[in-house]
């Protein structure tokens, strides 16, 4: 068996490093390309599903998330280049795990919130996307005397946050 020299090991390490780092050369942090609009009006979220107290947190968290993006400004409807409409269209609750002693009582639930989003260019009337469905899932745990209603209430801000982040990613990504 032949042993490798330190010089060979150094060249091999340099070659492997060069190959590994070349994959990161074209990576850019943030949006994948320039947006076709610079100002956005986010309509208040409408609700068609039976979902408790989700509209206001979703709208607020989405606005905060978009403001943190940096390459997009929020404005009123008359001054905006584009308008985003969000409609909460579905809300599902499903038992994820049952109690060990009683299989009829759930210990955790899977909550799924679905929104339909439409983004329109106010200047040209062009629709960037229409009725694009975005959904998120969260677990609600019923343990130690916590009722389902209370655990669902506690999970709603997390659902709204996750949904707003997914909607933001949909807006700033390439359609």
pLDDT in tens, 142-152: 766 666 677 77
Is residue 31 over pLDDT 60?
Answer: no
Is residue 75 over pLDDT 80?
Answer: yes
Q: State the average pLDDT over residues 121-147.
A: 85
Q: What is the dihedral of CA 14, 19, 21, 27, to 10 degrees?
A: 170
- The most confident of the ranges 2-16, 24-38, 49-63 is 49-63
Q: State the average pLDDT over residues 61-81.
A: 88
DSSP-assigned states of every residue in 22-88: HTTTT--SS-SS--S-SEEEEPPPEE-S--TT-HHHHHHHHHHHHHHHSS-EE--TTT-SEEEEEEE
Is residue 173 over pLDDT 70?
Answer: yes
Would you place residue 81 in the very low, low, confident or very high pLDDT band (cuts 50, 70, 90)? very high
Is residue 164 over pLDDT 90?
Answer: yes
What average pLDDT is seen over the chain? Answer: 79
Would you place residue 134 in the very low, low, confident or very high pLDDT band (cuts 50, 70, 90)? very high
Return the higher-pLDDT residue of 12 and 140. 140
Q: What is the pLDDT of residue 122?
A: 92
Q: What is the pLDDT of residue 22?
A: 61
Burial class (CB in 10 A: 0-12, 13-18, 19+), 142: buried
């Amino acid at each position: 068996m032949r042993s490798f020299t330190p010089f060979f090991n150094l060249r091999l390490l340099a070659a492997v490093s060069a190959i590994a780092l070349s994959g990161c050369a074209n990576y850019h942090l943030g949006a994948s390309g320039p947006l076709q609009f610079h100002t956005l009006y986010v309509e208040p979220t409408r609700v068609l599903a039976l979902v408790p107290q989700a509209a206001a947190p979703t709208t607020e968290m989405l606005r905060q998330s978009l403001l943190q993006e940096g390459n997009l400004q929020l404005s009123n409807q008359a001054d905006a280049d584009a308008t985003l409409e969000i409609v909460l269209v579905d809300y599902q609750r499903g038992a994820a795990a049952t109690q060990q002693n009683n299989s009829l009582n759930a210990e955790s639930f899977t909550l799924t919130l679905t929104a339909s989003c439409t983004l329109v260019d106010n200047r040209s009337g062009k629709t960037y996307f229409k009725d694009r469905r975005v959904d998120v899932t969260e677990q609600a745990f019923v343990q130690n005397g916590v009722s389902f209603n209370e655990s669902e209430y506690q999970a709603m801000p997390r659902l709204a946050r996750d949904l707003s982040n997914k909607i933001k990613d949909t807006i700033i990504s390439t359609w």
